[in-house]
Amino acid sequence: MVYAVKEIFMTLQGEGAQAGRPAVFLRFTGCNLWNGLEKDREFAVCQFCDTDFVGTDGINGGKFKTASELADAVVQQWSGDTDYRYVVITGGEPLLQLDTALIDALHALHFTIAIETNGTIKPPENIDWICMSPKAGSDINVFAGHELKFIYPQDNFNPEIFENLKFDHFYIQAKDGIDYAENLKQSIAFCHKNPKWHLSVQTHKLINIP
């Protein structure tokens, strides 16, 4: 399999339960809910994505012919102790490309593996941390994991329908964009009324890191 990668970089996880944790981000190209082109955004299932996942022209991006080649590119970005290696695999939709071979190659280099997925594709086994962020209009195929992050608000899509799924953490995150201030206000109000849900803030944007 050839892996198409937008970018690979060392940073801090900016949101959710692992916020502040040093991590290598591996961003795959492509998504099954939007092609990433602005001209097609209004016709996409997910219309509010704030990430560029098109092409392989990002920092350390490219096409990797083998899982070991890609894993080596990831470990080259890690600057800390071996015992704390942590990689967040994201996109786009990472489960279009993440496979057992890459999981095994990263584990062999002592990485704890996290993914950020829209939940439409059943994940392979042995992923250490699953964060699922469901989108209105999509078919969910992930029913258990570690973290459910709901981007709020979404039209005709209620976070409470996911409360019986087997996740350890439930987060509300205000939808970014021109209405962010109002979305944040609504997100805080939702958490007040539904204390099972905690507020997730995109701290990496506040402190201006990737």
Supply the residues annotated as catalytic.
Answer: 25, 31, 46, 49-51, 116, 204
The per-residue DSSP string of 27-47 comes to EES--SS--S-GGGGGGSS--
